[in-house]
Amino acid sequence: MAEEKAKAKKQEAKAEAKAKPAAKAEAKPVEKAEAKPKAEPKPQAKKSSLPGLLGRKLGMTQLFDKEGRLIPVTVIEAGPCFVVQKKTVETDGYNAVQLGFGKGRNVNGPLSGHFEKAKVSAAPKYLREIRMEKAEECSPGEEIRADVFAEGDMISATGTSIGKGTAGTVKRWHFGRGPMTHGSKSHRLPGSIGAGTTPGRVLKGTKMSGRLGAKRVTVKNLKVVKVDPEKNVLLVAGPVPGPKNGLLVLEKRLSGEK
């Protein structure tokens, strides 16, 4: 009896083992989730061949390069600028591109028509020209961003220096002062401004007190350290002329140009 029960258990176990693969075969295959179509990359805007653009000085900060050296940099909001007009030798006698930068300008009728012709919706605050040999490559209404520059480019920055009002000769021209003791009353006086009989007048260009600063200044050979086209930010090694939020004209320096 015991042997018969053992045989019956073995047969039942074999039957169960045969039934399991059959059940697996009958099970429905798991449907895979459909793969989402990949998003098509956005078409990249055509990089402009313009040799410069307008910007706004935001301030200064510092960066460390790969070798660990500290570099003082100026942060510039470079663009976006819009081409308002292109000038050619045939129509204006020279090749140049007129750029508009900034917002918040109240314009009269002629200027509003000038902007409408260029298909510029918002009237720009500043209008400046940049000389360009191939002005026909730009079209009115075209947007110019900070990607016209690349890291390592050498550029020049033109702006209006900070005005310091009327200054004396010591501050303006770095004159030396007179004695401070022994009864001297000529501490910071300019001194003589010319002879008496000959030439009998003050020569032009004589260094005297007067207005200091608030002049158009160009700083050349500034190196571009970093470019962020999405935020329109440019980091330039060293200082640039003008106060914070001052307008800057940025132009590329050609190789070999002084």
Q: What is the pLDDT of residue 31?
A: 53
- In terms of pTM, does the model score above 0.75? no
Provide the CATH topology of domain 48-79+146-166+211-258.
Answer: Elongation Factor Tu (Ef-tu); domain 3 (2.40.30)
**Domain range annotation of the chain:** 48-79+146-166+211-258, 81-144
Length of the chain: 258
| Cα(81)–Cα(72) distance, integer angstroms | 26
| Cα(153)–Cα(213) distance, integer angstroms | 28
Q: What is the pLDDT of residue 167?
A: 95
Same fold, 48-79+146-166+211-258 and 81-144: no
The DSSP result for 182-229, as a single string, is TT---SS-----S-SSSS-SPPTT---SEEES--EEEEEEEEEEEEET
Which is nearest to 156 in space by CA: 47, 58, 57, 254? Answer: 254
Element (H, E) at 4: helix 2-26
Which is nearest to 234 in space by CA: 222, 246, 221? Answer: 222
Token reading at 203: 């020569």
Each residue's pLDDT, cut to its tens digit, for the chain (258 residues) gives: 556 666 677 777 776 766 555 444 454 555 555 555 555 544 444 555 678 889 999 999 999 988 889 999 999 998 788 888 888 888 888 888 888 888 877 778 888 888 887 777 778 888 888 888 776 677 788 888 888 888 888 999 999 999 999 999 999 999 999 999 999 999 999 999 998 888 889 999 999 999 999 999 999 999 999 999 888 899 999 999 999 999 999 998 765 565
Place of tokens 């550029």: 155
DSSP 8-class letter at 90: H
Q: Strand pairing of 154-160 and 247-252? A: antiparallel
Architecture of domain 81-144: 2-Layer Sandwich (3.30)
